[in-house]
A and B are shown apart, each in its own frame.
Chain A
Amino acid sequence: AQSVTQLDSHVSVSEGTPVLLRCNYSSSYSPSLFWYVQHPNKGLQLLLKYTSAATLVKGINGFEAEFKKSETSFHLTKPSAHMSDAAEYFCVVSDLGNTGKLIFGQGTTLQVKP
Chain B
Amino acid sequence: GAVVSQHPSRVICKSGTSVKIECRSLDFQATTMFWYRQFPKQSLMLMATSNEGSKATYEQGVEKDKFLINHASLTLSTLTVTSAHPEDSSFYICSARDPQGFTNEKLFFGSGTQLSVL
Which residues of A line the B interface, CB within 8 A?
A: 32, 34, 36, 41-46, 49, 51, 90, 94, 98-107
Cross-interface CB contact of B109 among A32, A41, A43, cutoff 8 Å:
A43
CB <8 Å contact, B43 and A98? no
CB <8 Å contact, A105 and B114? no
CB <8 Å contact, A49 and B93? no
**Residue ID in chain B nearest A51 by CB atoms:** B105
CB <8 Å contact, B43 and A105? yes
- Chain B interface residue count, Cβ-Cβ cutoff 8 angstroms: 25
For residues 102 through 116 of chain B, which have their beta carbon under 8 Å from a beta carbon of chain A? 102-105, 107, 109-112, 114
B78 CB-CB contact with A under 8 Å = no
* A105, B4: Cα distance in complex, Å: 23
> What's the count of A-B pairs with C-beta under 8 Å?
62
* A105, B43: Cα distance in complex, Å: 7
CB <8 Å contact, B93 and A43? yes
A–B complex contacts, Cβ < 8 Å, 9 sampled:
A32-B104, A34-B104, A43-B109, A51-B104, A90-B44, A99-B103, A100-B104, A104-B45, A106-B43
Q: Which residues of A contact B77 (CB under 8 A)?
A: none
Shortest Cβ distance from residue A42 to the other chain B in the assembled complex, whole angstroms: 6
**Residue ID in chain B nearest A101 by CB atoms:** B46
For residues 50 through 93 of chain B, which have their beta carbon under 8 Å from a beta carbon of chain A? 91, 93
Q: Which residues of B contact A101 (CB under 8 A)?
A: 34, 46, 49
Once A44-B93, A94-B104 are accepted as A-B contacts, the answer to whether A106 and B42 lie under 8 Å apart by CB is yes
Extra contacts, 7 of them, besides A100-B34, A102-B46 (Cβ < 8 A), are A32-B104, A41-B112, A42-B112, A51-B102, A102-B34, A102-B107, A104-B43
Shortest Cβ distance from residue B1 to the other chain A in the assembled complex, whole angstroms: 10
Q: Which residues of A contact B112 (CB under 8 A)?
A: 41-43
**Residue ID in chain B nearest A94 by CB atoms:** B104
Q: Which residues of B contact A36 (CB under 8 A)?
A: 109
